Chain A
Amino acid sequence: MDNESTYSGYSYKSSHSRTSRKNRERRDRHRLKNRDGSIRGDKSVMIQAPGEPLLDPESTIPDDRDDNWGETTTVVTGTSVDSISNEDLTRISKDLEDSLPPDCRRYISPVLGAILGLISAITPLAFLALPQLLWRDTLDHCGTPCEGLYISLAFKLLILLMSTWALFLRPSRATLPRFFVFRCLLLALVFLFVASYWLFYGVRVLEPRETDYRGIVGYAASLVDALLFIQYLALVLLEVRHLRPAFCLKVIRTADGVSRFYNVGHLSIQRAGVWVLDQYYSDFPVYNPALLNLPKSILTKKMSSFKVYNLEEENTNNSTGQSRAMIAAAARRRDNSHNEYYYEEAEVERRLRKRRARLVVAVEEAFTHIKRHQDDDTPTSSPKHPREVMDPREAAQAIFAPMARAMQKYLRATRQQSYHTMESIINHLQFCITHNMTPKAFLERYLSPGPTLQYLDNNRGRQWTLVSEEAVTASLRQGQVFCLKRLDFALVVKVMPLPFLRLAEEFIDPKSHKFVMKLQSETSV
Chain B
Amino acid sequence: MSFVPGQPVTAVVQRVEIQKLCQGENLILGFSIGGGIDQDPGQNPFSEDKSDKGIYVTRITPGGPAESAGLKMGDKIMQVNGWDMTMVTHDQARKKLTKKREDVVRLLITRKSLEEAVKHSKGSHPSHLPAQTNARTTKDRVVL
* B34 pairs with A525, CB closer than 8 A: no
Q: Determine the chain B residues whose CB is within 8 A of the CB of A519 once the complex forms.
A: 39-40
Q: Is A520 positioned at the interface, with any CB of B under 8 Å from its CB? A: yes
* A525 pairs with B40, CB closer than 8 A: no
CB of A520, distance to nearest CB on chain B (Å): 4
Q: List 26 A-B contacts (CB under 8 A).
A: A517-B38, A517-B39, A517-B40, A519-B39, A519-B40, A520-B39, A520-B40, A520-B44, A521-B90, A522-B32, A522-B33, A522-B34, A522-B59, A523-B32, A523-B33, A523-B34, A523-B90, A523-B94, A524-B28, A524-B31, A524-B61, A525-B29, A525-B31, A525-B33, A525-B94, A525-B97
Q: Determine the chain A residues whose CB is within 8 A of the CB of B19 once the complex forms.
A: none
CB of A522, distance to nearest CB on chain B (Å): 5
* Nearest-CB residue, chain A, relative to B80: A525
The answer, among B29, B34, B97, for a CB contact under 8 Å with A520, is: B34
Q: Determine the chain A residues whose CB is within 8 A of the CB of B59 once the complex forms.
A: 522, 524
* Nearest-CB residue, chain A, relative to B96: A525
Report, nearest first, the 9 A-B pairs whose CB atoms are least far apart: A520-B43, A525-B97, A524-B32, A522-B34, A518-B40, A525-B29, A523-B94, A522-B32, A522-B58
A518 to B41, CA, bound (A): 9
A contacts, CB < 8 Å to B: 517-525
The answer, among B28, B35, B38, for a CB contact under 8 Å with A525, is: B28
Q: Is B137 positioned at the interface, with any CB of A under 8 Å from its CB? A: no
What total of chain B residues lie within 8 Å of the partner, measured CB to CB?
19
A-B contact count (CB 8 A): 38
A388 to B52, CA, bound (A): 88
A522 to B56, CA, bound (A): 10
Query: For chain B, what secondary structure do more than half of its interface residues adopt (helix, strand, loop), or is it mixed?
Result: mixed
* Nearest-CB residue, chain B, relative to A517: B38
A524 to B93, CA, bound (A): 11
* Nearest-CB residue, chain A, relative to B34: A522
12 extra interface residue pairs, beta carbon distance < 8 Å, beyond A517-B40, A521-B39: A517-B38, A518-B40, A519-B39, A520-B43, A521-B34, A522-B32, A522-B34, A523-B32, A523-B33, A523-B94, A524-B28, A525-B29
Q: Is B98 positioned at the interface, with any CB of A under 8 Å from its CB? A: yes
A519 to B91, CA, bound (A): 13
* Nearest-CB residue, chain B, relative to A523: B94
A517 to B36, CA, bound (A): 12
CB of A516, distance to nearest CB on chain B (Å): 8
Most buried by B among A518, A520, A522: A520
Q: Determine the chain B residues whose CB is within 8 A of the CB of A520 once the complex forms.
A: 34-35, 39-40, 43-44
